[in-house]
Structure 1
C-alpha cells in the first residue's frame, strides 16, 4: 500500500470541515443561486432562533412543570386527602415512567413522518387534559391512572424537540439552543415552588383542596398552549413556511456542509432503524443518559423534600427557587461554552465529577446548611450536563431517521431510570435520605464511565478513518485503501447518503 496514495477520508473529509461561512458541498455546487450571496447568515439564524427556541422553551417549561407538580402537591396533603401511603405515592410516580420511556423512540419516528406542526400540538392538548384530570382524583387507582396517561401523552415532546432542533442547527450551534430550551426545566423547578404557594391559597374554592387547584390550573394553561401551537410550531427546514425558498435552500446547504447530508429530506426505511440498533454509539448513549436522567428525576421530584429538613412546606418550596435559578444560569453558560470550544467530552467529565462531589457531601452531611450547599452543587452538574450530552450524541449520528431513533432510544432508556429514582427517597429515611443519595451517586458514576468510553471509542474511530481503514470502493475513483468490505458505491455522494455517519469521510466530535 503506497503511503503517497490519498485515502477517501483524506480526499473527502476536509471539505466537510469548512469555516462557519463556507458553503462548499456537492449540494451547493448543484443548486448555486445568485440570490445566495445577499443572504445574511447571522440574521437568518437569529430569525430561526426567534421563531423556534422561545416557544419550544415555553412548551418544555409547562411540560416539566406539569410532570413535577405532584411533588409540590404532596406537601399540601395530597396523600392524606386521597388516602394513600408513602409507598403508594412512590408507586404512582413510578407508573409515569414506563409508558413515557417505552414510547419515546416510536414518537420520534412519528414526528418525522407526521410533521412537528401537527404532532407537538396534539401531544400538548392530550397531556393538558390528563393534567387537569389530576385535580379530580379520589383514590390510589385514580392517581395511578392519570400518571400512566401523563407518561404516555408527554412521551413525544422532549426527544422530539431535541431531534427537531438537531434538524435545524449545525453541530457547533446545537448545544446553545438545547441549553436555552432546556433551561426552562430549571425555571419550572423555581416557578413551580412559587406557583404552588400562590395557588394553594385557593384551598376551599369550589369545594376543592389547594393541591387540586395546582393540577387544574396548570393543566388548563397547557391546553391553551397546545391550541396556540398549531399556528406557532414550524416544520423542518425544507418546508418551513416562515422562510423564503432562498432561505430554505441556504439552511439546507449549511447543514449539508456540516455533514448533515439528509437535511434536504429523507424517505423512511426500516434500514435506518436497524442502523441505529447495530450502532455501538446508541448503546453507550443510553448508558450516558441513564447516568444523567436518573439523577435528574430524583432531583426534580424530591428537591423540596430534601430541603425540608427543619423547614415548613412553604419554606422548603421557596428555598428551592434560588437553587433552580442558579441551575438555569449555569445551564445556559455551559451550553454556549460547549459550542465555543467544540469539545463536549471534557465538559461531561467535569460535570459528572461535580455531581459525584455533591452527592458524597449529601451522604455524609449531618447539617441542613451543608446539605443545602450540596444541593447547589448537584444542580450545577445535573441540569447543565443534559444539553451538553444530547448535543454530543446528536452531533455524532447522521441520517434524520437514524438520529431520531438513536435519540429516542437514548432518552427513552434514560427516562426509564426515573422509575427507579422515583422510589429511592423513602419517608422512613428522612431527614438525610442517605440511601437515595447513594443510589443517585451510583447513577452519576455510571454516566461518567460511559462518557469516558464513548470519547475513547470516538477518538479511536476517527483515527482509523484518518488511516483509511473505513474507505469504501467508489466506482471510477482510484483509491488503494478502498475495501469492498466497507461497501461499493457509484459515487462519493451515494456513499454519504447510504452510510450516514458510517461514511469514511465523516468525523465524530469529541
Structure 2
C-alpha cells in the first residue's frame, strides 16, 4: 500500500516539476547557501576555539605573569558557554527575524568581539569579552533549523554535515594558522597570541556585509534562482510542512510559530532523549578542540609542534563526517551511524584514559596516545551532526521543530560547562579523569541512541496500527490540497 502511495506521490510531483529541475535547485542551494553557511560556521568556530592556541602562544604569561592559576582559563571558557546556553532560545528567531538581517548582525557581533580579545589587559576583561562572544554565537546555532526551510527530511544530515564539518576544518585551519602566526610574530611588535585573535577575528567583520546579500529569507526569495526554480523550490517541500500563505504573511519567515506547539515538546520523550544525547556529546565536542594543543604540549611536544599536530585529527574527522552523513541520508537512517560513532569515540577516549594507568602505562609522548585522538574526534563530530539532524527529523512542523531544536541546544550546551573543566593543568600529562569521563559519556550516548531507536520504532508501529495519532501530538502531516500522508519517525 505504501509503495503505491509513494509512486502516486512521485507521479504527482513529476507533473509539477521534473527530477532534473529539482536536482538543479538542490545543487544551487548546496553551492550558494550551504557552503556559505559552512564558511560562516568555520569563522564562528575559529573565533570560539582559538583561545586554546592563544594559550599555548603565551596568553597566560601576559595576562597572569608569574602568578599562574589555571582556573582563570577555565572561567574564560565557561563564561562563553554560560551566555551561549542562556541565549540558545534565539534559535527560534530564525522564524521571526528575516534571516539575511539576523545572520549579518550575528556575524558582525562575534567578529568584532573576537577581535577585541586582542586588547585584553587581564583575565577579567577576557572573561567579559568571551561572555559577549557567546551571545552572538548562540543565535547562529539555529542554522540546521534554518536549513530545514530549504531541504527535505532525508536531505538534512548531509547538509548539516557540510555545515558542521566546518568545525573540524576550522580547527585544522586554526592549528596551521596558529603555527604560522607564532612563527611570524615571534620577533614582531605584537604578541603572537594577540595577533592570533586579530587575524582570525577580522574576516568575520568583513563577511557580515556579504551575508546581507547572499542569505535568502526563504526558498522563494533566493536571488540566484530563476522564477521557475523558485516555484520548484517551494513545491518540492509542500509534503514536508504546511506552506505559508504569502498574502497573509506579515514577515519574511516561511511560516509563523505557534507558542502552544513550540512548548509541547517539553512533554516529548523524543525531544528529551535527543537533548540528553547532545548534552553528553558536547562534553567531548567542546573540550578537545580547546585543550588539544595543551594536551599535546604535555605529551612532550614543543608549542610549535603541538599546533601542527592538532590539525590532522580534525582533517580526518572532516572527511569521515561527510561520508557518514551521506550514508545516513541515503539509507534514511540515523541510529546505526550514531551508535557506531559514539562507540568509536568511547574506545578512543578509554584508550587515552588507560595509558596513564598500570594497565597500559605508555610514555606521555607515545605515538599510540596521539593516534587514539583520531577515533575520539571522528566519533563525537559524527554524533553531533547525526543528533542535530535526528532532532529536526522527528518533530513534525515548524513550531515543534523549533521548540525541539531549542530544547536540545539549551540542555545540550550545558555539556561544555562540564567539558571545559575536565583537563586542569595539574592532571597532565595523561588527564586520566577527563579522558575517562568522556569515554563513559560517549558510551552512554550509544546506549541512549539504542533506547531512542527502540522507542521511535514503537511509535511507528503505533502509527501503522492507528491512523488517528502518533503518540506525540503530531497526527497526520499535510501533503497538499486534500492529500494526506502519515508522519513517520526516522530511525
TM-score, structure 2 normalization:
0.89
2:40 — aligned with what? 59
Alpha-carbon shift at residue 111 of structure 1 (Å)? 1.6
Tell me the residue number matched to 1:226. Answer: 208
Cα distance in 1 for residues equivalent to 2:184 and 2:300: 26
Instruction: Report if aligned partners of 1:462, 1:508 keep a CA contact under 8 Å in 2.
Output: yes
- Match of residue 335, structure 2, among 306, 329, 345: 345
Tell me the distance in 1 between the aligned counterparts of 2:334 and 2:479.
Answer: 28
Corresponding residue for 1:127?
110
Structure 2 counterpart SS, 1:255:
coil
**Equivalent in the alignment of 1:285:** 274
Partner of 2:130: 147
Give, in whole Å, the separation in 1 of the partners of 2:275 and 2:85: 12
The alpha-carbon distance between structure 1 residues 402 and 16, as it changes in their structure 2 partners (threshold 3 A), is farther
Quick one: distance in 1 between partners of 2:166 and 2:270? 28
Please report how far the alpha carbon of residue 268 of structure 1 lies from its aligned counterpart in structure 2 after TM superposition.
2.6
Contact 1:135 1:216 in 2 (8 A): yes
Q: Give how far 1:306 is off.
A: 2.2
Task: Kindly state the Cα deviation for residue 304 of structure 1 after the two structures are TM-superposed.
Answer: 1.5
2:241 is the counterpart of 1:243: no
| Cα separation, 2, equivalents of 1:404 and 1:179 | 19
- CA–CA distance in 2 between the matches of 1:435 and 1:386? 23
- CA-atom RMSD in angstroms: 2.7
Q: Secondary structure at the match of 2:423?
A: coil
Give me the whole-angstrom Cα distance separating, in 2, the residues matched to 1:231 and 1:206. Answer: 38
Question: What are the Cα deviations for residues 184-234 of structure 1, in whole angstroms up to 9, with x where unaligned?
Answer: 111111111111112224537874311001111211111011121111112
Taking structure 1 as reference, are residues 496 and 252 closer, same or farther at Cα in structure 2, changes over 3 Å only?
A: closer
Q: For the residues of structure 1 that align with 2:417 and 2:442, how far apart are their CA atoms?
A: 16
Following TM superposition, by how much is the alpha carbon of 1:370 offset from its aligned partner in structure 2, in angstroms?
1.5
- Counterpart CA distance in 2 for 1:343 and 1:85 is 47
In structure 2, the CA distance between the partners of 1:18 and 1:284, relative to structure 1 (3 Å rule), is farther
- Residue 255 of structure 1, CA deviation: 1.9
Partner of residue 420, structure 1: 418
SS of the equivalent of 1:173 reads helix
Q: 1:16 to 1:381 in 2, by over 3 A?
A: farther
Q: 2:22 aligns with which of 13, 16, 41?
A: 41
* Conserved? CA contact 1:334–1:384, under 8 Å: yes
Change over 3 Å in CA distance of 1:269–1:247 after alignment to 2: same
Please list the CA deviations of residues 231-270 of structure 1 after superposition, one character each: whole Å capped at 9, or x if unmatched: 111222243333344323322322233x333577322321
With over 3 angstroms needed to count, the CA separation of the structure-2 counterparts of 1:37 and 1:90, relative to structure 1, is: closer
1:211 alignment counterpart: 193
| Cα distance between partner residues in 2 of 1:439 and 1:120 | 35
Counterpart of 2:264 in structure 1 is: 275
Q: Deviation string for 1:286-341 (max 9, x for gaps)?
A: 01111221110111111122222010111011011111111111011101111112
Q: TM-score, normalised by structure 1?
A: 0.86
Of structures 1 and 2, the one scoring higher in RCO (CA 8 A, sep 6+) is 1
Counterpart position of 2:164: 182
Per-residue deviation, 1:37: 4.9
Q: Could you tell me whether the CA contact under 8 Å between 1:100 and 1:155 is conserved in 2?
A: yes
**3-state DSSP of counterpart to 2:62:** helix
Q: Which residue of 1 aligns with 2:392?
A: 394
Q: Unmatched 5+ residue regions in structure 2?
A: 246-253, 356-361
